[in-house]
């Protein structure tokens, strides 16, 4: 896949304080999650990618061209920032329309685009009220609308779901997923792991300004050697099952959870384990009711990689 956003050995420091440290990354089309604890460099990365900061070292390219001092490129970039700063006296429609005009659309095109985008984010009933009277969720949706209105190729979203209630969040997530499906490149930075988890399995993980991991969550998980996988099996005859599984080579340990009638299997070769499991279950000797791994998700990956 052609990379849409490309960082080549980029570093950025503010005085003595390091923001990003020799970051090389290529973000493809589709939805990607940007994660990291506080101070990891996520905001710096977004600001470098949108051309608001100049890298101290290295090159930043978006859609093949350097983004610094290239305002024409903003026609194809949309940014939904974290800060909440509007012209409070404008109505929602005014604001999005003005942003559309600033994005390069002519008057009638801007009018249509504004109406269409506001409808997509669900702000049509409220678009003629002053922003001063909006709730947090409405402001968030207006911010998203202004990022989408000029139909950009690349979208940067910084904490897009704060303050939104679950209903609105569902709708906005659908919009983002659709955009990813259309081939646009969307980078979503968020602290709320389960939201990113629902949106996309592709992530970029930063810590202390450096790139820690990049790619599909499951692949990353497989690569984390230090922590064996934990797979939970629920079965009435759990102790006998435990005994049987201990005879397998790749199983390194079994823990018993008597309360749930479950056992937790530790293994460094999950693939092999899962491969042999259906035969065992279909054989009929053990009635395996449930199988799942609470280890295979984004929270676990984050915890293992970030908190050393």
| Cα 161 off chain centre by | 11
Query: What dihedral angle (degrees, nearest 10) is formed by the CA atoms of 154, 158, 163, 166?
Result: 50
Does 238 help bind other proteins (rule: CB under 8 A)?
no
Q: How far is the CB of 212 from other proteins (least distance, A)?
A: 14
Q: Number of residues in contact with other proteins, rule: CB under 8 A? A: 44
Count CB neighbours of 20 within 10 A.
27
In the list 83, 108, 282, 308, the residue contacting other proteins (rule: CB under 8 A) is 282
**Residue 38 within binding range of other proteins, rule CB under 8 A:** yes
* Nearest distance, CB of residue 205 and other proteins, angstroms: 11
**Separation of alpha carbons 229 and 217, rounded Å:** 14
Output the smallest distance, CB 266 to other proteins, in A.
16
Shortest Cβ distance from residue 222 to other proteins (Å)?
12
Nearer to other proteins, 57 or 293 (CB): 293
Between CA 114 and CA 184 the distance in angstroms is: 19
Residue with tokens 């409405």: 138
Query: Which residue, chain included where needed, has tokens 């005009």?
Result: 101
CA–CA gap between residue 196 and residue 173 (Å, rounded): 10
Of these, 3, 37, 58, 122, which contacts other proteins (CB under 8 A)? 37
Q: Which residues bind other proteins (CB under 8 A)?
A: 36-38, 135-138, 159, 162-170, 191-194, 198, 271, 274-275, 277-279, 281-282, 284, 287-293, 296, 299, 302-303, 306-307
């Amino acid at each position: 896949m052609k990379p849409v956003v490309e960082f080549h050995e980029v570093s950025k420091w503010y005085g003595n304080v390091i923001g990003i440290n020799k970051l090389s990354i290529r973000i493809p089309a589709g939805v990607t999650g940007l994660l990291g604890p506080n101070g990891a460099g996520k905001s710096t990365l977004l600001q470098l990618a949108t051309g608001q900061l100049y890298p101290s070292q290295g090159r930043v390219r978006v859609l093949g061209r350097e983004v610094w001092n290239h305002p024409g490129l903003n026609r194809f970039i949309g940014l939904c920032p974290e800060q909440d700063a509007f012209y409070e006296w404008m109505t929602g429609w005014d604001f999005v329309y003005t942003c559309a005009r600033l994005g390069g659309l002519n008057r009638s095109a801007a009018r249509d685009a504004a109406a269409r985008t506001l409808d997509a984010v669900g702000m049509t009933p409220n678009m003629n009220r002053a922003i001063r009277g909006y709730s947090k969720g409405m402001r968030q949706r207006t911010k998203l609308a202004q990022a989408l209105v000029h139909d950009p190729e690349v979208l940067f979203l910084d904490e897009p779901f704060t303050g939104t209630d679950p209903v609105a969040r569902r709708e906005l997530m659908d919009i983002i997923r659709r955009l990813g499906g259309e081939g646009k490149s969307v980078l979503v930075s968020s602290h709320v792991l389960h939201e990113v988890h629902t949106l996309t399995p592709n992530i970029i993980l930063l810590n202390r300004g450096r790139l820690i991991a990049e790619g599909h969550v499951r692949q990353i998980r497989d690569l984390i050697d230090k922590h064996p996988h934990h797979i939970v099996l629920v079965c009435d005859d759990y102790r006998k099952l435990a005994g049987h599984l201990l005879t397998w080579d790749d199983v390194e340990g079994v823990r018993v959870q008597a309360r749930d009638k479950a056992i937790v299997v530790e293994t460094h070769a999950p693939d092999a384990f899962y491969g042999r499991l259906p035969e065992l279950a279909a054989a009929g000797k053990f009635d395996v009711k449930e199988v799942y791994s609470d280890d295979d998700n984004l929270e676990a990956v984050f915890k293992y990689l970030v908190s050393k």
